[in-house]
Chain A
């Protein structure tokens, strides 16, 4: 029963730390997903474009990032990103090693991988738009941008929603991998208008926090299990949210 007390909220238990850590994990996943949408939209546009070069580049992007382990991509950005930054810093006369913030590294690495999956979803969704609607929009005199805004984007989002739901589940689970590069957000204590001081805080990501708790209590099973429960909570909540969103998005559609 002592182990249950360790899972309490407050200074003696780990529940508060784990909850904040879950928040950081959610944040990384959101950042990765948002970046992934940008990469995905660009790559999908490239794949649908007439330029052979753009199509080729997008093809290489999706093939490589979907065929290589995510962990390897994270290592590339964690070490490679730092080396690149150091090289840039040397140009400006700074000598020595410049690290890359773990959060940025994680978001970029996860975003790139996730973007490759989003590319296929978005491309499929675009192809699902009936050709007649695009022709009709052109016939009505809509220009490229107006057509995109009024006809293409709303429908792409609608058709892509189920696929994006799957991709979001992927990104949530992938975010566990950032524990290997020790993702932590460190905020120094802030003095707010000399009225009060916000304490210094340090957030770990969920799996890392479980690792820390497991190490200090020597109860690894309990804490990895707790981390697993938090992930299950996140993925289940996401499923419900996407189900609702799909229902809403399909309100005006005829059901087959």
Chain B
């Protein structure tokens, strides 16, 4: 093991972490807002709205993120004069904004499915009981539907967050110098792929480890009773096996 080289690589790679985190946080943030709208739209009673949301989710989950990114970054270049006229060209010219848009639109589709699943998992009886108490509208959502749906959705959403951190690596294909971009540059300079992979991979694993801890903490915070039960079951080896 060439430790001085590993250390030097680490110092170079760590410069890419802020951009990786920036991409991940900004895209997840904007994606979540969009996902919420889509998730509710998928359960809407107004059919056209529902179909529109379903079509969006179907298309974005059925195609690779890289194709979506190329479509936005390279593809929209075809309409450059038009975009310049609309004064939007500064946005679509920038690889950073294009990656952000592609990631956010992609995670919105997956997030919408998770939110729809969470909302549908709320037992009808609970909603009926709440209505019988005279709750309506926002109160119903704030007290009953929201908390139950959130408990259901958070574990899946945690997985989606990790996928997003990994997905930021695609930024390197459109010249962004985030973690993978720098790793790629270093590999093609030195051809020491294994060592550089080791360091870059460790950084990603560390980021994702922090993320899983954060999500686990969040799960405990919103559902302490459930988390305690689960832990007890795991501890004594009774954790039920998931049936298909």
Which A residues have a C-beta under 8 Å from some C-beta of B?
63-64, 67-73, 75-76, 78-80, 83, 124-125, 127-128, 159, 162, 172-177, 179-180, 207, 210-211, 214, 218-222, 224-225, 227-228, 231-232, 235-236
Interface residues of B in 170-189 (CB under 8 A from A): 170, 172-173, 180, 183-184, 187-188
**A231 x B193 contact (CB < 8 A):** no
Partner of A80, one of B169, B180, B194, B205: B194
Cβ of B56 within 8 Å of any chain A Cβ, yes or no, is no
Contacts A69-B166, A159-B244, A220-B77; A227 near B67 (Cβ below 8 A): yes
C-alpha gap A214/B208 in the complex (Å): 36
B243 contact set on A, CB distance < 8 A: 128
B204 touches A67 (CB 8 A): yes
Which chain A residue has the least Cβ–Cβ distance from B72? Answer: A224
Bound-complex Cα distance A228 to B68 (A): 8
Q: A83-B192, A176-B66, A218-B78 are in contact. List 13 more A-B contacts (CB 8 A).
A: A69-B180, A72-B169, A72-B204, A79-B187, A128-B242, A177-B64, A179-B66, A219-B78, A221-B71, A228-B59, A232-B59, A235-B62, A236-B62
Question: Contact: B193 with A232, CB < 8 Å?
Answer: no
- Report A-chain residues with C-beta under 8 Å of the C-beta of B194: 76, 80, 83
Which among A75, A78, A128 is the interface contact of B183 at CB below 8 angstroms? A75
Q: Interface digits, B27-51 against A, CB 8 Å rule (1 contact, 0 not)?
A: 0000000000000000000000000
Chain B hits for A79, CB < 8 A: 187-188, 191, 193
Q: Which 5 A-B pairs have the closest CB atoms?
A: A80-B193, A69-B169, A176-B64, A221-B75, A79-B193
Interface residue ranges, B against A (CB under 8 Å): 59, 62-68, 70-71, 74-79, 162, 166-170, 172-173, 180, 183-184, 187-188, 191-194, 197, 200-201, 204-205, 208-209, 241-244
Closest to B207 in A: A67
Can you list 28 A-B contacts (CB < 8 A)? A67-B162, A67-B166, A68-B166, A70-B166, A71-B180, A72-B180, A72-B204, A75-B187, A76-B194, A79-B187, A79-B193, A80-B197, A124-B241, A127-B241, A172-B64, A173-B64, A176-B67, A180-B173, A214-B74, A220-B74, A221-B71, A221-B78, A228-B67, A228-B68, A231-B63, A232-B59, A232-B62, A235-B62
Contacts of B204 in A (CB 8 A): 67-69, 72
Q: Tell me whether A207 and B193 are in contact (CB under 8 A).
A: no
Q: B219 → chain A, closest Cβ, in Å?
A: 19
Decide: B197 and A72 in contact? CB cutoff 8 A. Answer: yes
Q: Is the Cβ of A231 less than 8 Å from the Cβ of B197?
A: no
| Chain A residue nearest in CB terms to B165 | A69
In the bound complex, what is the Cα–Cα distance between A173 and B68 (angstroms)? 11
Chain A residues with Cβ under 8 A from B66's Cβ?
176-177, 179-180, 207
| B residues less than 8 Å from A224 (CB atoms) | 67, 70-71, 74-75
Q: What's the minimum C-beta distance from B109 to chain A, rounded to whole angstroms?
A: 12
Q: Taking CB as reference atom, which chain A residue is nearest B204?
A: A68
Q: How far is the CA of A211 from the CA of B173 in the complex (A)?
A: 13
CB neighbours of B197 from chain A (8 A):
72-73, 75-76, 80
Chain B residues near A180 (CB-CB < 8 A): 66, 173
Task: For the complex, give the distance between the alpha carbons of A67 and B203 in Å.
Answer: 10
Instruction: Say yes or no: A63-B75 contact (C-beta < 8 A), given A69-B180, A72-B180, A176-B67.
Output: no
Q: Which residues of A contact B191 (CB under 8 A)?
A: 79, 83
Given the known interface contacts A75-B184, A231-B62, A231-B64, the answer about A220 and B78 at a Cβ–Cβ threshold of 8 Å is yes
- Cβ–Cβ < 8 Å partners of B244 in chain A: 125, 128, 159, 162
Question: In the complex, A232 Cα to B208 Cα: how many Å?
Answer: 30
CB-CB under 8 A from A67, the residues of chain B are 162, 166, 201, 204-205, 208-209
